[in-house]
Amino acid sequence: MSERNPPAPRTASAPAALERHLAALIPGATLVPTPLPLAPSLRLWLLGPTVPAGPLAPDAAAQLQDTPPYWAFCWASGHALAAEILEGRVAVQGRRVIDFGAGSGVVALAAALAGAREVYAVDEDPRALAAMEANAALNGASALHPVLSLDALPPPKGEDLLLLADVLYDPANRPLVDGLQATGRELLIADARVAPEKLPAWECLWSREAATLPDLDESPLFRTVRFYRAARPT
């Protein structure tokens, strides 16, 4: 990992339980309050940019593979979608917004700061919910409600906006997206991993360049984030 985007000074205390969990997986790993280049009004507790080199212990490697700490990164699609929300291109003011597969909660945080009436951040990993709460405190966002599943949400309303960033990397998630669309909520997807021709049922609206933080030196192909909605009937 390079230090292309240096972290902000540690002016707040890192969430201790999350940092202990990371250090158990990756010796020496820390969480650092990091500003987002595309959304500089936001900071997130992210994995520090300098991670010790060398092989992990077998049990740590197995746990890292089984339960990767997605919440310790700001993935490119979430980074780009948060910027689009804060810049007003994705309108959230006065709406109920649901960030599905929220990870660090970056998209939900952007919606809360941009004037959404209610914001729910859904992730099945309890540590992700803890990371969201820490990130909400770091940004002074009180309107964010982390939940473990869609079952915890209020019934759908016409004003709802369901946002999905970085969920299509696994083809097994695509039927899940179809199920979410069937709830009747307006749905917007941000994705950098799947080419538009592989999503014939979705209309590509626009694109934006973004990087994952900390910088993973990913292929340039994964830095173009595309925004999709369900294709209109012809």
Q: What is the pLDDT of residues 37-83, one digit of tens each?
A: 999 999 999 998 766 555 656 666 566 566 689 999 999 999 999 99
pLDDT digits (tens, 9 = 90+) for 178-193: 778 777 789 999 999 8
| CA-atom Rg of the chain in angstroms | 17
Asked if 114 contacts 93 with a C-beta cutoff of 8 angstroms, the reply is yes
Instruction: Answer whether 99's CB lies under 8 Å from 122's CB.
Output: yes
CATH of domain 77-211+219-230: 3.40.50.150
Distance CA 110, CA 103 (A): 13
Say what the pTM is: 0.88
